[in-house]
Amino acid sequence: MRRWSPVWIAGIVAVVLAIGAIVWGLRGAARLGPVVESPGNLPLPPGPRAKAGQLPRNLEFSGPDLTQRDDQGNPVWSARSKGSFRFDAPSRRITGTDIVWELKRGTQHARIAARRMEVAVATGEVLFADGLTLSAGPGQTFALKQARVEPGTWKVIGEGSVRWVWGRFRVSADSLVVDAVRKRVRLRGDVHLSAQ
């Protein structure tokens, strides 16, 4: 019977160890999952790292863009950030800075520029704040402090020093609701229309 030489035994052990190391490494990587990163592959701030499986359904990152799709895979809205997006797993919120958000759903179109955006993953609600302007078409540009987009109806509900130029009227109000479907704007609070 042929005896194994020490060289052969050492070689086999080395190969087994190498295979084990590779398998262990792959399993570890699979357990961690793909890391959700901010656009431009900027490093995420310290904190819990999210798995791809924790992202809301139909929400995806692609470079500096964040896109919400419907069940058929059609884009409902997309946001582009000059800064970064961040998914915070514990609070299940995606935050973005210096963003331009666009709703494109059939004939509906709305555009929001804001310094801060937040997506509540649980509800699908999108919130905006700081330096916010909303445009729903020609002559329909609003400035206000904060707004949220209601999922499903896609109404924009905003408040805080609402300003709007409607024809020859400069309009101010405490709050507003813009219905992009019905092409209606509702203003509440101390509403003042001023024409020169």
Partner 1 sequence: MKRTVILWAATVGAGLLLALGAGTAQQKVLHGSVADIYATDVEVDLATGVATLTGNVRVQIKGAYDATMTAPTIVAKQSQEKNQVISLDAQGPVNLDVLTKGADGKQFRVTARCSDSATFSEQTMVAVLKGNAHAEVTGLPRAEAVESARYDGDTLTVDFKHNKIKLTQAHVNVEMAPEAEKSPAGTKQ
Give the residues lining the site for partner 1 (CB under 8 A).
136-137, 139-140, 166-169, 171, 173, 183-196
Comparing CA positions, the residue from 132, 127, 133, 44 lying closest to residue 89 is: 44
Give CA 156 to chain center in angstroms: 16
Residue 77 or residue 164: which is nearer to partner 1 going by CB? 164
The Cα 105–Cα 136 span in angstroms is: 13
Residue 27 or residue 183: which is nearer to partner 1 going by CB? 183
Residue 156 or residue 171: which is nearer to partner 1 going by CB? 171
26 sits in which H/E element: helix 6-32
For residue 54, give the DSSP letter. Answer: G
The Cα 164–Cα 139 span in angstroms is: 9
Minimal distance in Å, beta carbon 78 to partner 1? 24
Contact predicate 186/177, CB 8 Å: yes
Query: What angle is formed at CA 22 by the lines to CA 9 and CA 11, rounded to 5 degrees?
Result: 15
Residue 112 or residue 178: which is nearer to partner 1 going by CB? 178
Minimal distance in Å, beta carbon 110 to partner 1? 12
Minimal distance in Å, beta carbon 166 to partner 1? 7
The Cα 112–Cα 158 span in angstroms is: 11
Minimal distance in Å, beta carbon 108 to partner 1? 13
Minimal distance in Å, beta carbon 137 to partner 1? 7
The Cα 170–Cα 107 span in angstroms is: 27
Residue 57 or residue 188: which is nearer to partner 1 going by CB? 188
